[in-house]
Structure 1
Amino acid sequence: MTAPTDDRAAVRDAALWIELLLRQFPELLHELAPARRSPSAPPPDGARPHAARGRTRAEREEALRVEQAHGLTPSGPTTAPLRLHVSDTIRDITDGVVELDEAVHDRLRLPRPRRAQVPERLLRVAALLGRASEDAVLAAHIRDETRRMARRCTRALGAAEPVVRVSGRCPWCDSVSLRAFPARHAVLCVNPACRCADRDCDCRTDPAHRHAWTQSAWVRLAEESGADLGELAGATADTAEREVHR
C-alpha cells in the first residue's frame, strides 16, 4: 500500500469516527444522571421522604461545570447521584475535541478557531479532512484521536466491544472458540475452561484469564489451529467501518 493510499484511509476512518462521536456524544450527555423518578411513584421500601440527602459538594460543582460547558443541567432530582464515570468521559472528550480542533487549525496555518460546542468543533474538523489528507502526520493524528474518543464514548454508553468469529480450533482446548478483537488487534480463546501446558500461565489460577495471540504469533496460531492467516489478519483489522456501522 502506498503512502497516499494510507493517508486517504486514515482520513476516511477519521470521518467515520467523527460520525460516531456526533451520534453518541449527545447520548452521553443524557446519560449524565439517572432519569427523574415520577413524583407520584411510591418511595423505595424503607425510604422516608425526609431521609433524602442532597448532592455532595463535588457533585454540585461537577453539575455546574457541565451546565456551563454544554448549556444544560443533568436530568434527575437533586438527590440523584451524578454518574461520575460518564462525567469524566464527557470532560475527556470535550477537552480532546478542543485540543484537536486547535491542533488541526494550527497545523494547517489557519486562524485559531472560535469557541464552540463539541458537535460544532467536530464538524469543523471534518470539513478540514480534505486538506489534512495532504499531511500524513496530521491525518494519522486526527484518526487516532477521534478513534480514542469514540471508543471511550462507546464504552461509557455500555456498548460491547466488537468481536469477530474466526475459523480454526484453539491449540490448547481444541474448541472452536477463537475470536478476533479488532480494538485489541489480537485473537483470543473465549472458552473459560481453556487450559494450556504452561504451569506459569494465569489460566490455572485466574478464571477470567483468556489466552491471547498478538500479531507476531498469528503465523504459528494459523499453523496450529488450522485457521487461515489471511482471515486472522482481516478479522483483526482495526477499521472504523466495522465499529461505526455495526
Structure 2
Amino acid sequence: MPVPTHRSGAVGATATADAALWLGTLAQQFPELLTELLPGRTSPSGDRQHRTPARLAAESARVRAERQDALLTRQRHGLTAPGYSAAPLRLPISDAIRDITDGVIELEEAVYDKLGLGRPRRAPVPERLGRLVRLLHRVAAHPVLAAHVRDETRRMARRCSHALGDTEPMVRVSGRCGWCDSVSLRAFPSRGAVLCVNPGCRCDAPECDCRTDPAYRHLWERAAWARLAEHGGGDLREITEAVADRPDGAAR
C-alpha cells in the first residue's frame, strides 16, 4: 500500500536526518582509515602488548602478502609515489577502505540517478560525502531512497568505526521504554538521541523502521525526551546530561 503523502515527508525527513549523522561520522573517520595506511601507523586496537604469541606469529606470516596489497591501496588513494614499498598493511583496513569507497560511489550514483542529475563527476570520498549531504533535502522527498541512503551510510559508518577499533559510546538512563516497557533506554551522545536497545521492541509509528528492519532501534530526539521521561518514569535532566556526555568507552 502506498504511503500517504503527509507521512512520506515525515518518513523521508526522519531517514535523512539519521543519514546526515552517519555521513558526518564517515566524513570524520574515513581520513583516519587512510592515515592508518601510512608507514609506522598502528591501529588503536593493535597494541602489541595485548597480542598473544600465536597472533603475532600469524600476523608476521601475512606481512609479505599484505605488502603488495598495501602498496596498491596507498597508490590508489595518492598516498605514495609509484614504486616499491615495504610498509605492511592490515587487511581489515584496506578491505574497509575498498568497501566504503565503492559504497559511497554507488550510493552517490544512485542518488544522482533518482534525482535526475546525471552521473556525478569523479572525486575523492570526502568530496562525494559532502555532495551527498547537500542533496539530503531533496532525497527527503523520496522515502524509499531516503531509507536506502540512511541504511547504507549507517552500514559504512559502522564498518569504518569497526576497522578503527572504535565503539560507539552509550549511557544507560533510567525509565522504561514507552513501547516495550523494558528498562532498555540508552543515550547515544554521538547521535544526540535516546534509543531502546531491546531487540524485540517494536513501535507503531509509521515513520519508524524498527518494525521492518532488525538492525533499527526506535529513537527519541530531543523534542520527545520530556514525554519519554514522563510516561516511562525517567528523569529529563538525567537524559539531557547523558546525551551531552562524551564517555570514552562503551556503555556504562
Q: Distance in 1 between matches of 2:107 and 2:86?
A: 36
Partner in structure 2 of residue 32 of structure 1: 37
- Alignment size in residue pairs: 179
Once the two structures are superposed, residues 180-231 of structure 1 have per-residue CA deviations (whole angstroms, 9 ceiling, x without a partner) of: 49799634xxxxxxxxxxxxxxxxxxxxxxxxx5316xxxxxxxxxx99847
3-state SS of 2:15 partner: helix
Partner in structure 2 of residue 102 of structure 1: 109
Identity of aligned residues (%): 53
Partner in structure 2 of residue 204 of structure 1: none
Q: Distance in 2 between matches of 1:155 and 1:24?
A: 11
Task: Give the superposition deviation at 1:145.
Answer: 0.7
Task: Say whether 1:136 aligns with 2:132.
Answer: no
Q: Distance in 2 between matches of 1:132 and 1:103?
A: 11
Task: Give the superposition deviation at 1:93.
Answer: 0.5
Using structure 2 for the length normalisation, give the TM-score: 0.58
Q: Which runs of 5+ in 1 are unaligned?
A: 38-51, 170-176, 188-212, 217-226, 233-241
Task: Say whether 1:214 aligns with 2:200.
Answer: yes
Partner in structure 1 of residue 216 of structure 2: none
Task: Say whether 1:66 aligns with 2:70.
Answer: no
Q: Which runs of 5+ in 2 are unaligned?
A: 1-5, 43-59, 177-182, 203-228, 235-242, 248-252
Task: Give the superposition deviation at 1:69.
Answer: 2.4
Alignment of 1:1-150 (within 5 A): 2-32=7-37, 35=40, 55-56=63-64, 58-73=65-80, 79-150=86-157
**Structure with bigger gyration radius:** 1
Partner in structure 2 of residue 222 of structure 1: none
Q: Distance in 2 between matches of 1:55 and 1:185?
A: 43
Q: Distance in 2 between matches of 1:156 and 1:134?
A: 33
Q: Distance in 2 between matches of 1:6 and 1:33?
A: 42
Name segments (4+ residues, structure 1) moved above 4 Å: 52-55, 77-80, 177-185, 227-232
Which of 181, 186, 197 is residue 197 of structure 2 equivalent to?
Answer: 186
Query: Does the aligned pair in 2 maintain the 1:102–1:113 contact within 8 Å?
Result: yes
